[in-house]
Amino acid sequence: MKKLCVLFLSAMIILACNQPTATKEATGSFNLDSVKVAIAANNKTFSEAIEKNDSALFISNYTTDGCVMPNGGAPKMCGAEGLSKFFGMAKQMGINSVKLTTTEVLGGKELVSEEGLYEILDKAGNAIDKGKFIVTWKEEKGSWKKYRDIWNSDMPPPPPPVKK
């Protein structure tokens, strides 16, 4: 009987060790290729929002606590209110469309980082600005969205004002 109990317990331990844990299953469900597809779709919607002058669509590309960190001395702007303010500023500057080119995506289940190049155009299709960006992505309610969005220009700064 004692040998039977030891054999039974040994079998239970072996079976328990071979069962996937919740952590292994959760990690196994992350697929960077599917996140890359989601990022490409989000970037397309992001560009369409700017072209359509649709601030609600623009904001929907970000997490509820998402932030933009523009170059040129502008402050960090977060949440729906901050993103709406930024969208209005961009439109006042004559921004009509944005072309995004992703060059690298890496990360894991918690956060993904996208690196790329951007070009900002006016209504006539003239380049207003171009440079590079990094976006940190976070999954929110089953969708990958922009969490932190920062960019800086490759264009030379404007000349200093002429002193009189």
**Containing structural domain, residue 70:** 30-153
> How many domains, in total, are found in the chain?
1
pLDDT digits (tens, 9 = 90+) for 77-99: 999 999 999 999 999 999 999 99
pTM of this prediction? 0.78
DSSP state of 36: H
State the chain's mean pLDDT as an integer.
85
CATH assignment of the domain containing 106: 3.10.450.50
Residue 11 scores a pLDDT above 90: no
pLDDT digits (tens, 9 = 90+) for 103-156: 999 999 999 999 999 999 999 999 999 999 999 999 999 999 999 999 999 998
Q: Is residue 96 part of a domain?
A: yes
Token digits for 113? 């980082």
For residues 8 and 164, give the distance between their C-alpha atoms in angstroms, rounded to a whole number.
94
Question: How many Cβ atoms are within 10 Å of 138's Cβ, its own excluded?
Answer: 18
DSSP element (H, E) containing 148 = strand 143-153
Q: Is residue 1 part of a domain?
A: no
